[in-house]
Amino acid sequence: MTMTETPMAEQQQQNELNGHKDLNHKSLLQSDALYQYVLETSVYPREHESLKELREMTQNHPRNIMATPPDEGQLIMMLVKLINAKNTMEIGVYTGYSLLSTALALPHDGKKNNMGKYDFVFVDADKNNYLNYHKRVIELVRIGGLIGYDNTLWFGSVAQPPHAPMMDFVKNSRGYVMELNKHLASDERIEICQIPVGDGITLCRRII
């Protein structure tokens, strides 16, 4: 199949539309309808009332794009419980959906602020510094502990050519996210799993 060149303006408009679509449903699933199905069937019926309240409070915030999608929150809660995490840390907090998800999944003797050996660290801060965070976080998490890096598919831009039209904030951090992904794949201290939920979350289990 041959790709035909789309006129610049039209391409840009199409890209903006695609971008907006991505920004709205924040999912890599094939359609909005499928994502709605996931939310309505499996996520909303089990969503904690405090999380629901927080999600509804922030959904009209101009920067709501930064909120953790509820299906991703559900995954985090499951992971935190599976590894019996007690000491957790979150780097980069927006209105706190993922932080609250973690807190709700912790046992009563769990702690959010305790320097030492962390069971679970969720990194969702400035993407340009992801590699720097990794250098430190890997030392903080215990062997067998888990790190989650959020937005590692960066609105799908990681698979787009470098000069493809994309929104500025996407373009500006794309290289850093790709660099992190490469680094994680070659870091022998961890096992990794790229999960295409939300905007992509990479789970890293420290093994040495």
Residues in contact with Ca ion by CB under 5 A are 124, 150-151
Task: Please report how close the Cβ of residue 69 comes to Ca ion at its closest, in angstroms.
Answer: 9
Taking the least distance from each CB to Ca ion, the nearer of 47 and 150 is 150
What is the DSSP track for 90-150? EES-SSSHHHHHHHHHS-TT-BSS--S-EEEEEE-S-GGGHHHHHHHHHHHEEEEEEEEEE
Taking the least distance from each CB to Ca ion, the nearer of 118 and 155 is 155
The SS3 assignment for 165 reads coil
Taking the least distance from each CB to Ca ion, the nearer of 119 and 150 is 150
Pairing mode, strands 201-206 and 88-91: unpaired
Taking the least distance from each CB to Ca ion, the nearer of 70 and 86 is 70
Task: Please report how close the Cβ of residue 100 comes to Ca ion at its closest, in angstroms.
Answer: 14
Task: Please report how close the Cβ of residue 125 comes to Ca ion at its closest, in angstroms.
Answer: 9
Cβ–Cβ < 8 Å for 191, 204: yes
Task: Please report how close the Cβ of residue 11 comes to Ca ion at its closest, in angstroms.
Answer: 27
Cβ–Cβ < 8 Å for 50, 100: yes
Residues 6+ apart with CB under 8 A from 56: none
Encode 173-204 in three state secondary structure. HHHHHHHHHHHHHHCCCEEEEEECCCCCEEEE
Task: Please report how close the Cβ of residue 82 comes to Ca ion at its closest, in angstroms.
Answer: 21
Task: Please report how close the Cβ of residue 67 comes to Ca ion at its closest, in angstroms.
Answer: 8
Taking the least distance from each CB to Ca ion, the nearer of 71 and 150 is 150
**CA dist., res. 174 & res. 41, Å (int):** 33
Taking the least distance from each CB to Ca ion, the nearer of 107 and 196 is 196
User: Which residue of the chain is nearest Ca ion when measured via CB?
Assistant: 150
